[in-house]
Amino acid sequence: MQTPQQPPRQSKSSGEQTLSNRKERILKAVVEDYIRNATPVASEALVREHGFSISSATVRNEMAELEAEGYIHQPHTSAGRVPAERGYRYFVQRLMQEQHIPQAEQLTIRHQFHQVALFREQWLQLAVAILARAVRAAAIVSSPQLVECRIKHLEALHMQDRLGLLVLVLLDGIVKQQLVTLPDQVTQQDLSTASNRLNALFHGNTRREVEAAAGAERFSNVERFLVRSLTDLMVQIDARDATTIYHDGIVELLDQPEFSRLERARAIVEVLERPHTLRELLPEVLGGAGVQILFGSENRWEWMRECAFVLARYGDVGGMTGVVGVLGPLRLHYSVAIPSVRYVSSIMTELLGSLTGDLPGEAAGGTVPPHAAPSPGEM
């Protein structure tokens, strides 16, 4: 167990006043017991199981004050207390101790990613499988995207007569091809010479950067033709809606008592199977740094008022980035979810860098070494 060096970023500033040490101990015990057992927590149980050196009557008085302040609530008369959204937020921000991922498990996870590092779809699927298993909640990951596509390599091929093939490799590893009608009497040598110059000029550029640079350059007829063909193709790529959402862990999520009601379970399944609503969330997460948590009412959808998202951005290599995270009940095991999301995000950032060749010492298409897991202080 370890205390996080930097608390996860909240979507709203808590502005909380610090509770007394005794109230903090009681709130921490209530949250941890409820996360573990999913049953309301009574004052007598707190005294008995947590070794408080105060009477159950004193604990009851403190719990009554915590309830009046909105940190816990009583689901029905004569029941114990359960954490409220404000209580979860205070717990994560000030009281929680993250569970350190054992070194052996870190190496196992890295080795699994190492096996599929060259196949982007497979490591995206692996990410959600690992998180769903670790947190026992639903896991999601979005495919990495550029705000605008960027050029890694351009190749122009002479096919037959005046038919040519334009091959464009993007920084995110995607390859696009388009047939073009070549100008008269253009040879493969002409196309290769022009492609080599354009690669030197435009590597890493967006379409708008290509157009701006093209205005300041003097081009041959073949080069000018390729620039037009290139920018036309990039317009098509930038217009796509290609963000894919991968998910896993529906069964684990529906096993939680919060989703025993049919209507709530159905809403969760629908949003994961029809992820256009999740895509609306991505721009908010992409604008932040580190692990971010959305609690209950901070989520925009009514069906998520009893849910929490733990999310992190990965990538940002060459402007390419995506989102990885878990979705569960407010009673989420945050001390496991937060370090797990952070760790998987860091590995995916490395994978994305090695895939595009933008990390120091990594060749394009390289893989992440199965060793060199971060030390506990980096988690």
Of 79-93, 141-155, 238-252, 324-338, the least confident: 238-252
Residue-level pLDDT at 290: 84
Residue 258 is encoded by which pair of tokens?
Answer: 């919060």
Sequence-ordered alpha helix ranges (H) in the chain: 21-37, 43-50, 56-68, 85-90, 103-115, 120-135, 188-202, 207-214, 221-238, 250-254, 262-273, 276-286, 334-356
pLDDT tens digit sequence for 254-299 = 888 888 888 778 877 877 777 666 666 665 565 567 899 988 877 6
Distance CA 122, CA 214 (A): 38
Q: What structural domains does the chain harbor?
A: 9-95 (1.10.10.10), 103-143+243-378 (3.30.450.40), 151-238 (3.30.390)
360-372 confidence digits (pLDDT tens): 333 333 333 333 3
Q: Is 41 helix (H, G, I), strand (E, B) or coil?
A: strand
Kindly indicate the confidence band of residue 321, based on its pLDDT and cuts at 50, 70 and 90.
confident
pLDDT tens digits for range 117-139:
778 788 899 999 999 999 999 99
Name the residue type at position 118.
L
- Total-model pTM: 0.68
Whole-number pLDDT of residue 377? 34
pLDDT of 5 higher than 60: no
Q: Are 334 and 310 in contact (CB under 8 A)?
A: yes
- What residues form DSSP beta bridges with 213? none
What pLDDT is attached to residue 294? Answer: 87
Rounded to whole angstroms, how far apart are CA atoms 310 and 324?
Answer: 9
pLDDT band at 354 (very low <50, low <70, confident <90, very high): confident
What pLDDT is attached to residue 281? Answer: 63
Q: Given this model, what pLDDT does residue 297 score? A: 79
